[in-house]
Amino acid sequence: MGEEADKGLEDIGKEREKKDMTKEELALEVIERLKKEYPDAGCTLDYNQAWKLLVSVRLAAQCTDARGNVVVQDLYAKYPDVNALAEADVDDIEAIVRPCGLGRSKARDISACMKMLRDEYDGNVPDDFDALLKMPGVGRKSANLIMGDVFGKPAIVTDTHCIRLTNRIGLVDGIKEPKKVEMALWKIIPPEEGSDFCHRLVYHGRDVCTARTAPHCEKCCLNDICAKNGVQ
């Protein structure tokens, strides 16, 4: 009984400590723990040139990164650079990217995007957030990914893993709109940590804090500080 009582008091103490943490303090602790858990986490889209990430991130919409990584191999084999892809017929692009879903829409965006890179930026991806947002098919999530991964600039990528986990952990409170989640996280995540933090959330969301099954809280490095919002 003594040991059980001690454990009970210890659990109560941890709960009080968790409640006393500010969101900024919680964010820093989550960042440090995820760093230890996933020290080498990086972008899960394969690319070796900036324009290829621009293509891949468009294909990734409503498609797994793994599938996108396979499809782009065929795309780049036929169209190996910006100029070649800009000159390609939209129908031919669509035939290759169709396995990623939304083939026509994605093909049109990729074609228009490559034409813009060729005609306005000499084939180079601009390192300006607002310029990226003007490109067909590029939203805030994609622009942040490119700013962070390609140019090493502060970035917060609010993909489905980021939105789900930050709500579950308690870093944001019931916010589901990507831009609002991004704005809330900018207030508590150090700018230099944002990009890698979001990559680690992807790994953690796939391996531990899953969406389609009950999260594996028993093996989670955040178990004692997580709010477990929405967890039954």
**Active-site residues: which are they?**
141, 159
Helix axes 140-149, 194-207, angle to 10 degrees: 110
203-224 burial: b if 16+ Cβ within 10 Å, else e: bbbeebbeeeeebeeeebbbee
Using alpha carbons, list the distances in angstroms from residue 55 to 22, 38, 47, 205: 39, 26, 9, 24
Question: Nearest-CA neighbor of 195 among 140, 158, 232?
Answer: 158
Cα–Cα distance measured from residue 120 to residue 226, given in angstroms and rounded to the nearest whole number = 46
**59 and 97 Cβ atoms separated by less than 8 Å:** yes
For 127, residues 6+ apart whose C-beta sits below 8 A from its C-beta are: 147, 150, 151, 153
- List the beta strands (DSSP E) in the chain: none
Q: Which amino acid is at 49?
A: Q
